[in-house]
Amino acid sequence: MEQRRRREDEIRKLNQELGNRAADLEAINKELESFTYSVSHDLRAPLRHVVGYSEMLQRQASSLLDEKSQRFIRTILDSAKKMGNLIDDLLAFSKIGRSETRKTEVDLEQLVKEVVAEIGQDTKSRDIAWKIGALPVCKGDRSMLRLVVVNLVSNAVKFTSMRTQAEIEIGCVNRNKKEVEVFVRDNGAGFDMQYANKLFGVFQRLHLAEQFEGTGIGLATVQRIIHRHDGKVRGEGAVDQGATFYFSLPKAQESAERTADAP
């Protein structure tokens, strides 16, 4: 009896410590969020001036400058705009961490078709074979999940740009009662599985900027949103063999029952 009580005391104490630590972590995370936000917000003003004044200089003095000096101005502008894109992405990324999720039932199939139709508008010049499988209704924040799908689908479009016939498939696997795992598969550039752990990091890029443009925040955004939905992300691929990205989400109640009834 004595021993049992001592053990219970110990467990209580450990639980208390764990609770304290979780609270500390949450506070640190919040602080980091507001830090990221203010850094990126305050960085924009001076950058706007760099772009604004370079453009004025370009307009006002271009007839006086030789080709080399004009190139210098163009380089300043290009770099400043690139930095602007990075800051915008970082801001958007930090907003995802801070904003509340509004969870409703989301028809994934409809969402995916919507996104593909939208992105298809910009890729009319390319030969892309789209394949969209049946997708269930799940529970989540529609606008956030839309961002996940937009990021994954535009990645697939981007990394298949060198294929004369691109194939992009969106479907779902591993259906069970509570969870759905959606995948986006392409036959594009792929990646080395050795670096799979870097895929979802902020500003991590596995390809050269000259080869595929982008800031390196897309998959970090995907991961953050899916984590906020208590889901998981993963990627599979091989160099020049295409890539598949998976994300899991909790199913909506009704949809879960429907699947359970299926033979």
Q: Where along the sequence are the contacts to other proteins (CB under 8 A)?
A: 45, 48-49, 52-53, 56
3-class DSSP state of 226 = helix
Q: Which is nearer to other proteins, 45 or 134 (CB)?
A: 45
Output the CA–CA distances (angstroms, integers) from residue 132 to 79, 83, 112, 115, 137, in the order listed.
38, 36, 8, 12, 15
| Least Cβ distance, residue 35 to other proteins (angstroms) | 17
| Least Cβ distance, residue 52 to other proteins (angstroms) | 4
Which 8-state DSSP code applies to residue 241?
Answer: S
* Whole-angstrom distance, CA of residue 63 vs CA of residue 153: 44
221, 152 contact by CB (below 8 A): no
| Least Cβ distance, residue 113 to other proteins (angstroms) | 37
* Whole-angstrom distance, CA of residue 252 vs CA of residue 96: 22
Q: Which is nearer to other proteins, 56 or 260 (CB)?
A: 56
Query: Which helix H or strand E contains 15, and what residues bound it?
Result: helix 2-61
Q: Which is nearer to other proteins, 60 or 125 (CB)?
A: 60
3-class DSSP state of 236 = strand
| Least Cβ distance, residue 55 to other proteins (angstroms) | 9
| Least Cβ distance, residue 92 to other proteins (angstroms) | 18
Q: Which is nearer to other proteins, 26 or 42 (CB)?
A: 42
Q: Which is nearer to other proteins, 99 or 165 (CB)?
A: 99
Q: Which is nearer to other proteins, 44 or 126 (CB)?
A: 44
| Least Cβ distance, residue 99 to other proteins (angstroms) | 17
* Whole-angstrom distance, CA of residue 1 vs CA of residue 240: 65
Query: Which helix H or strand E contains 60, and what residues bound it?
Result: helix 2-61
* Whole-angstrom distance, CA of residue 145 vs CA of residue 258: 22
- What is the rounded radius of gyration, in angstroms, for the C-alpha atoms of the chain? 23
